[in-house]
Structures are given as structure tokens and as C-alpha cells.
């Protein structure tokens, strides 16, 4: 295996939280940043695209999904939200946990299980954002990403 693929695989599989800079953002900070960016439910978010390059526990993602679904429901435009979000997470278990949270949120919001899975399969990607091919353009890119550097 090449050294980069090897390092990515190790980070994805069994790195600890500090090694991956995995400190998740508090909800009030997330809401403040989304308001500041203009990602607000009074806008046609269902016609816009947002990228979260390192979604971790899904703090941004859940707030984003909530605002998107609110905007789409208000406009009667919930038919197809698959293009509205792209989000990436490197660590496999974190990816799986957050995936479950988003599916749970969509089902609570009235989406059928099959539709929730279809949407989440389009929204979420497991991998290294820096090595992933993600089709743009995006109207918003949101995340807080901290890196720890070791000597
Ligand atoms: C500081 S947390 C931030 C999570 C979320 N963006 C937030 O603000 O709450 C960083 C996350 O990025 C992930 N990560 C680190 N490097 C990454 C990369 N190259 N591609 C995708 N995810 C990465 C880590 O596994 C961790 O879950």
C-alpha cells in the first residue's frame, strides 16, 4: 500500500479523537455561523448546495438538514433534496454514527425509511475530503476543522 493510502486507512480505522482533531462544534456556535453565512430557512435552500468537508458528529449537518427540510416543507418542495448537501467524514465509526443520526432525523421529519436512505446515500461520503472527487459548485461550505500536528 502507498504511504498516503496507508495513513488515511489508519486514520479512518483506529485513530483517536485528538489525533483527528475531532472536537465537535457546539450547537449555538453552529447556529450562529449558519445565520452569518445566510443558510437560513426563510431562503430557498432546496435550490442551493452546501458542502461540509469533515462532518464529525454531525453538529453542522443536523442543523443544516433541519433548516433545509423546514425551507423545503414551507415551499412544498420536499420531492428531491439529494443534491442539496455533500458531506465527508474520514473516520469510519464516526461516519456510521452520524449517518444513523441523519437517517433518524429524516424519518422523524416524515421521510419514508427508503427515501431517507436514498437521500443520505447521496449526501454523505466516507473518505478523505482532500482525496475525494466531489462535484461542485456549492453555494455554501461550512465546517470547523481543527488539525493537530505531531512532531
Ligand atoms: C473538529 S471535527 C469537526 C466536525 C464538524 N465539522 C464540526 O464542526 O462539529 C473534525 C472531523 O474531521 C474528520 N477529518 C479529519 N481529517 C479529515 C479529512 N481529511 N477528510 C474528512 N474528514 C476528516 C475527523 O475524523 C473529525 O471527525
Q: Which atom of ligand 1 is nearest to the CA of 59?
A: 9
Q: Which residue has the cell 462532518?
A: 55
Write the pLDDT tens digit of every residue in 56-99. Answer: 999 999 999 999 999 999 999 988 899 999 999 999 999 999 99
Share of the chain above pLDDT 70, in %: 89
Write the pLDDT tens digit of every residue in 3-17. Answer: 777 777 777 777 776
Residue 15 included in any domain: no
Q: What is the total count of domains within the chain?
A: 1
Residue 5 included in any domain: no
Supply φ then ψ for residue 150, to 5 degrees. Answer: -110, 145
116 lines ligand 1 (CB under 6 A): no
55 lines ligand 1 (CB under 6 A): yes
Please list the residues that pair with 88 across neighbouring strands: 125
Residue 35 included in any domain: yes
pLDDT, position 2: 80
- Closest C-alpha to ligand 1, atom 19: 128
Which grid cell is 142? 461550512
* Domain carrying residue 51: 27-141
Residue 120 included in any domain: yes
Residue 12 included in any domain: no
Amino acid at each position: 500500500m502507498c504511504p498516503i493510502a496507508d495513513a488515511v486507512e489508519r486514520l479512518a480505522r483506529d485513530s483517536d479523537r485528538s489525533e483527528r482533531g475531532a472536537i465537535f462544534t457546539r450547537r449555538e456556535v453552529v447556529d450562529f455561523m449558519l445565520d452569518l453565512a445566510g443558510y437560513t430557512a426563510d431562503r430557498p435552500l432546496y435550490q442551493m448546495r452546501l458542502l461540509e468537508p469533515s462532518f464529525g458528529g454531525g453538529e453542522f449537518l443536523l442543523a443544516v438538514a433541519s433548516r433545509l427540510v423546514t425551507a423545503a416543507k414551507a415551499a412544498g418542495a420536499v420531492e428531491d433534496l439529494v443534491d442539496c448537501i455533500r458531506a465527508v467524514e474520514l473516520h469510519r465509526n464516526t461516519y456510521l454514527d452520524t449517518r444513523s443520526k441523519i437517517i433518524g432525523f429524516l424519518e422523524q421529519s416524515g421521510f419514508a425509511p427508503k427515501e431517507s436512505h436514498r437521500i443520505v446515500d447521496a449526501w454523505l461520503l466516507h473518505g478523505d475530503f482532500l482525496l475525494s472527487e466531489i462535484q461542485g459548485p456549492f453555494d455554501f461550505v461550512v465546517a470547523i476543522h481543527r488539525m493537530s500536528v505531531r512532531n
